[in-house]
Amino acid sequence: MLESLRGLGYSTAAALADIIDNSISAGASEVRVGFHWAQVASSISILDDGRGMNDPELEAAMRLGAINPLQARAAHDLGRFGMGLKTASFSQCRRLTVASVKAGSTSCLRWDLAELAANPESDWLLFEGPEPGSAPSLAPLRDMQSGTLVLWEDLDRIVTEGSSADDFLDVLDGVETHLAMVFHRLIHGPHPRLRLLLNGRPVRAWDPFMTGHPAKPWSSPMTRHVEAYGAVEVQCHVLPHKDKLCDEEFDANAGPLGWTAQQGFYVYRNERLLVAGGWLGLGYPRAWNREESHRLARIRLDIPNTADADWKIDIRKSTARPPLALRPWLTALAENTREKARKVFAYRGSSGPHAGNMPIEQAWRVDRTKTGVRYRIEETHPSVAAVMESAGALKPLVKSMLRVIEETVPVQRIWLDTAENKETPRTGFDGEPNAAVGEVASVLFNDLIERRGLSVEEARKSMLRTEPFQKYPALVAKLGSSQ
């Protein structure tokens, strides 16, 4: 049975997060995770300063399925099945030792899969005390009045034949990234609820929502939906476009799996992250996929710990599916967020085709018909209109040229380049020097004054309503300054 449970699919980071959940449920204010490299004798320890366990409590904790998942739990409890300590540990190691101090008294029990395999006809062998030679690993408990230490040894899923110290450190790096995300709401701030240390170094929280960043274009108020199993809270976020971030900020906020994979819902229970991204099977008429155009959309979703069965939370706390009653509400919220995120992505960081309440004259329009979508040049755009009105006998030739441009827009190439490069092609003079932008702007500005008879101030206001010059207010302000 234990050998079979090893195949549940835990990563090392997810398994450690499950152990840390137990520490939090035990009231710990500090958890120390230690990676100890010694080749095949390497080990991993998790030490907390929680309330600890006495002999009967520790024996119950080491029993498989010690808790009925249907029983009511304390509001702060992060567990459900009574399996996490064992299944998470055995997914990574073959020897699990748990030592705990409560009221100054120490208890220690050990599972060893090698011993069970060597004695297939015997009863379940749960040993007292650590493996001979492993006692020094339990030393940190000696000066504590309460707390628990979980020790993983015989790390056959982490340290394999040919593994090096660098490989071990790579695992550690992945663990740090994962824990920084899963527990970010617990370890964030000057007075965090939990201090989490990895090899003595505090784990820095990774906030998926870039809370408080000045470049964020939109976030919604918190909304609540009360069901029979408790209140569900949702807050929607659209993150800044890459153009609004420095390279360091862009890389730091991509998340462990990158911008595209990290879009979607972030499901929390008691401020602990269960699901990091994805659309929870929502969408119409087909379930939404993770697409580049929606990568800036992230939605925070808090569920109560009484709703695990309704949300189909699995034993690894890695998947969730919303109840049928909530799906229309969540779908509507997600559709709105996805559309806002798509506009920010498409307009390279601007909030869309409107700046405040002032309409922007766009150079392209989208025509949606029963046969599909077509992109057309907007002839009312000041630059296009100026050419058309001044073309005279050349007007049919100009219109023919515009039609050829419309019919040969390399839509598929643009789509492929966007998907492969994970970035929209540069438009709107992005990366061009101000002199180049000013040269084009001056031609249109002079036409507004000379042909249309606008004043300098009126021409400037018109320019600020014209794509793409609305992005360059400082440059527009200088136009006509010598006239």
Domain count, the chain: 3
Task: Specify the pLDDT at position 471.
Answer: 84
End residue of a domain, out of 346, 376, 392: 346
67 found inside a domain = yes
Whether 42 and 146 share a structural domain: yes
Do 367 and 324 sit in the same domain of this protein? no
Same domain (yes/no): 148, 18? yes
pLDDT band with cut points at 50, 70 and 90 for residue 348: low
Given 346, 370, 388, the domain boundary residue is 346
Residue 213: phi and psi, rounded to 5, are -70, 130
Residue 468, preceding peptide bond in cis (omega within 30° of 0): yes
Calculate what percentage of the chain has a pLDDT beyond 70. Answer: 93
Is residue 462 within 8 A of residue 446, CB to CB? The reply is no
Q: Could you tell me if 387 and 398 are in contact, meaning their C-beta atoms sit under 8 angstroms apart?
A: yes
State both tokens at 317: 């706390």
Domain assignment present for residue 46? The answer is: yes
Query: Do residues 191 and 237 share a domain?
Result: no
- Do residue 87 and residue 183 come from a single domain? yes
Q: What pLDDT does 75 receive?
A: 54
What value does the mean pLDDT take over residues 393-407? 94
Q: What is the pLDDT of residues 26-73, one digit of tens each?
A: 999 999 999 999 999 999 999 999 999 999 999 999 998 665 554 555
Q: Do 16 and 71 lie in a common domain?
A: yes
Predicted pLDDT of residue 81: 42
**Nearest residue to 156 (alpha-carbon basis) of 3, 289, 354:** 3
- Residue 427 — very low, low, confident or very high, per pLDDT cuts 50/70/90? confident
Q: How far apart are CA 310 and CA 287, in angstroms?
A: 20
Banded model confidence at residue 352, pLDDT cuts 50, 70, 90: very low
Query: What average pLDDT does this structure show over 366-386?
Result: 90
Q: Choose one of 346, 381, 408: the last residue of a domain.
A: 346
- Do 55 and 146 sit in the same domain of this protein? yes
Predicted pLDDT at 9: 85
Q: Give me the pLDDT at residue 355, please.
A: 47
Whether residue 15 is found in the same domain as residue 100: yes
Residues 9 and 133 in one domain: yes
Say if 104 falls within a structural domain: yes
185: containing domain:
2-202
Locate tokens 């240390």: which residue? 197
Residue 274 sits in the same domain as residue 377? no
Q: Say whether both 325 and 380 belong to one domain.
A: no
* Span of 94-103, 218-227, 347-356, 423-432 with lowest mean pLDDT: 347-356
Lowest mean pLDDT among 125-139, 238-252, 311-325: 311-325
Distance of CA 110 to the CA centre of its chain: 37
Cα distance between residue 319 and residue 279, in whole Å: 11
In this structure, are 159 and 279 located in the same domain?
no
For residue 415 the two structure tokens come to 């789509």
In a domain, residue 351? The reply is: no
Residue 226 is assigned to a structural domain of this protein: yes
Q: What is the pLDDT of residue 136?
A: 96
Any domain includes 210? no
Degrees (nearest 5) of the Cα angle 122, 125, 126?
165
Q: Look at strands 297-303 and 358-359 and give their pairing.
A: unpaired
Q: How far apart are CA 315 and CA 258, in angstroms?
A: 25
Counting other chains too, the contacts that 460-464 makes at CB distance below 8 Å and 24 or more residues apart are 462/382, 464/355, 464/358
